[in-house]
Chains A and B, each alone.
Chain A
Amino acid sequence: MTHSNKDTAPTAWAKTLKTLAMGLLASTAIASGAQAQEVNFWYHFDNADNPMSALVEKFEAENPGITVNAENVPWNSYYDQLYTSIVAGTGPDAALVKLNAQPRLIEMEALEPLDAWINGWGGKAEVQDNLFTLTAAADGSHYYLPVQYVVLYLYYRTDMFQELGLTPPTTCDEFRDAAKALTRDTDGDGHTDVYGFGFRGGKGGHDHWASLTLARDGVGFGKGELTSEAGVAGTQFVLDLFQKDKVFPPSAPNDGFKEIIGAFQGGQTAMTIHHIGSSAGMVEALGDKVSAVPVPECGGGHWTSFGDESTAVFSAAQDKEAAWKWISFLSSPINNAEFNKATGQLPVTKTDSANWDGHAARFVDATVASLPFAELLPNTSETADFANTVWPVAMQRALIGEISATEMNAEIDALYNK
């Protein structure tokens, strides 16, 4: 027995060492294999129970050897982190990106052209016709692959409108009258408790201002257009709604997404502007007391924001082919529907659009009715500054009376027309 023990001990050690060595070798091989076929993907979802892990699992099963590390980056600092990480060389291989970031990313030479892949891709014909045109860069190349879209429209409280015998506004004048009527003290304590319109004065609120300003004849971001009489009248209209008519909640200058949505769902506002992405939450809070129509026509024109979201492969990606496979997977039928069910936006593929039941019909109708006049902000590098810093500060200062409508529009005009 003793002899046998002595004899077997080294054998057992040898076996253990051999197993360890083989394990190490195998794990090194796996690690190096994964290194070569790894896709680091950044996205931003508000929805806590997002299906990204299910989509990743499905993709990895269909594409053995490719590992996707999908990271949900908080929206508020999404672009700050993206730009800095790209420069630091620690950026993702692919990411969810908006069109207003495209000129800046191109200037940074951070994007990989997708034209060759898109042209050879079987799913190209599945993507809705105008989306490739909308998402093309200024030079006509494609760096973005559409993955979802929305169009901004006007939410309104059907019960409040019915109570006051109002119809949803179709023009700015009707909008103003309705907002004034809806701003009231409903519980008789002498304090206003419902405001006509929830205006987003903080970051991201340029869509509200734009619908009420850029719709006007001859108003856009070209030289002198915003500083024209019509341009100033548009901004002044917004300021009057707050300062004279007092139809925005007093917190409007600082209000962001969660404030305008919270106030509307809580009954503190009767109208606001957002998109179909928030419709599920609206219905959950308000049931059939909420509906939507296109934003009002103002000063002879109609303008609403086309809210896009695409995916892109970065030029510094470690495996561009694998990154392309992953983003094209997200824009393919069924996967695209799953993706959009989580984000609450609309799918870009024809098959998924035809079978779409992710939203109540009235919100889809309002979106479709808004599409003909939906526009994008200028496809230039200045748009990132406009959306992130210039507009929020100028709008807030104008709302609190520090600068006039003319001065605010002049600041934006100066940004775009240096």
Chain B
Amino acid sequence: MSVTTVPPVPLSRRVLPLVMLSPAVLVTLAIVFLPMVQALWMSLHDYVLFRPKNFDWVGLKNFVTVWNDPVFWTSLRHTVIWIAITVPAQMLLGLATALLLNQNFPWRGLARALVIIPWALPSVVIALMWVWIYDSNFGVLNDLMLRFNLISSAIPWLADPDTALYAIILTLTWQGFPFFAVMILAGLQSIPRSYYEAASIDGASQARQFWHITLPGLSGVLMTATLLRVIWVANSIDVIYVMTGGGPGYSTYTLPLYALVKARTGLDYGYGSALAVSFTLLLLGFVVLYLRRAGRNIA
């Protein structure tokens, strides 16, 4: 019996990939992993930046304070609303846009290019633009609604605690839907046309084709895009910060914003880090659950 032996891979060939990867790994360790560890370490200390010499170990005290902090729970509730409305709204709008852009019509290329604009604009520009749209004195939204008699007096969208968070959600939905549109459009183009032709021959309606061919064909793209957006939207604070700064009161506080305000404005880095770590753990838990469930569904 002859045994075919695989010639051993030379050491240099085995080491080479590691050597090639090491710069990227080192940079990631330095700019992502190290600050994460630092934040975790700070969260276990009493560390107020204007008393930089005091760095007292307090164990889990900051986390106990987080648990008993009503603003944490308010911010968490807002974060859940923020993600639960924004991501599905972006996805539905992106899906509708992608389906439209997948049709044949004149100037389709231009339409595809234009639809990406909200995604390409810097968040701060978008936030400032929408602040003016919502402005109760000069804003175009109030002006239009007044002209069409939809409201009897101008609504301070961003200064009213009942509308402020939803007004920002609308802004972020507008900003983020092109991401879904582009991803889904790419997904649509990867579904073979023969599936639809076969379904048509079998007499499947458009709706059935969408349900049984398009959606399953997009599931991988939708899962990945949704996961990415959940993480990005959850961590997104720039638009909120510019539009309301979290106000009025705590009406638009989300957890990352609360952590930022505590650390950067209040200079309480110990507590701010505890908030950030708590949020990271919550988000991590959600992501793990999501991956398990979504992975099973796709399989």
Q: What distance in Å separates the Cβ of A54 from its nearest Cβ neighbour in chain B? A: 30
Does A84 make an interface contact (CB < 8 A)?
yes
Does B136 make an interface contact (CB < 8 A)?
yes
Contact A104 B136 (CB under 8 A): no
Chain B residues within 8 Å of A190, by CB: 152
A392 to B152, CA, bound (A): 29
Does B245 make an interface contact (CB < 8 A)?
yes
Contact B159 A251 (CB under 8 A): yes
- The residue that B267 contacts in the complex, of A83, A263, A392, with Cβ under 8 A, is A83
Contact A388 B250 (CB under 8 A): no
Contact A250 B249 (CB under 8 A): no
Does A108 make an interface contact (CB < 8 A)?
yes
Chain B residues within 8 Å of A84, by CB: 49, 264, 267
Minimum CB distance partner of B164 in chain A: A254
Q: Given A108-B50, A108-B52, A388-B265 in contact, is the A251-B249 Cβ separation under 8 Å?
A: no
- The residue that A253 contacts in the complex, of B51, B152, B159, B261, with Cβ under 8 A, is B159
Q: Which residues of A in the span 220-254 have a Cβ within 8 Å of any Cβ on B?
A: 249-254
Contact A400 B251 (CB under 8 A): yes
Does A268 make an interface contact (CB < 8 A)?
yes
Minimum CB distance partner of A398 in chain B: B249
Contact A263 B51 (CB under 8 A): no
B interface, by DSSP: helix, strand, loop or mixed? loop
Contact B136 A249 (CB under 8 A): yes
Contact B250 A83 (CB under 8 A): no
Does A294 make an interface contact (CB < 8 A)?
no
Does A397 make an interface contact (CB < 8 A)?
yes
Contact B51 A108 (CB under 8 A): yes
A14 to B156, CA, bound (A): 75
Contact B52 A400 (CB under 8 A): no
Q: Given A108-B52, A202-B247 in contact, is the A402-B155 Cβ separation under 8 Å?
A: no
A21 to B299, CA, bound (A): 68
> A181-212: contact bitstring with B at CB < 8 Å (1 yes, 0 no)?
00000000011100000000111000000000
Chain A residues within 8 Å of B161, by CB: 400, 402
Does B137 make an interface contact (CB < 8 A)?
yes
Does B153 make an interface contact (CB < 8 A)?
yes
Q: Which residues of B in the span 133-147 have a Cβ within 8 Å of any Cβ on A?
A: 135-138, 146
Q: Which residues of B in the span 241-275 have a Cβ within 8 Å of any Cβ on A?
A: 244-251, 261, 264-267
Contact A253 B137 (CB under 8 A): no
Chain A residues within 8 Å of B50, by CB: 83, 104-105, 107-108, 381, 384
Does B83 make an interface contact (CB < 8 A)?
no
Does A399 make an interface contact (CB < 8 A)?
yes
Contact B245 A203 (CB under 8 A): yes
Subset of 14 A-B contacts with CB under 8 Å: A80-B264, A107-B50, A107-B51, A108-B52, A192-B153, A201-B159, A202-B247, A254-B244, A266-B138, A389-B261, A389-B266, A393-B247, A396-B249, A402-B161
Residues of B within 8 A of A (CB): 49-52, 135-138, 146, 152-156, 158-161, 164, 244-251, 261, 264-267
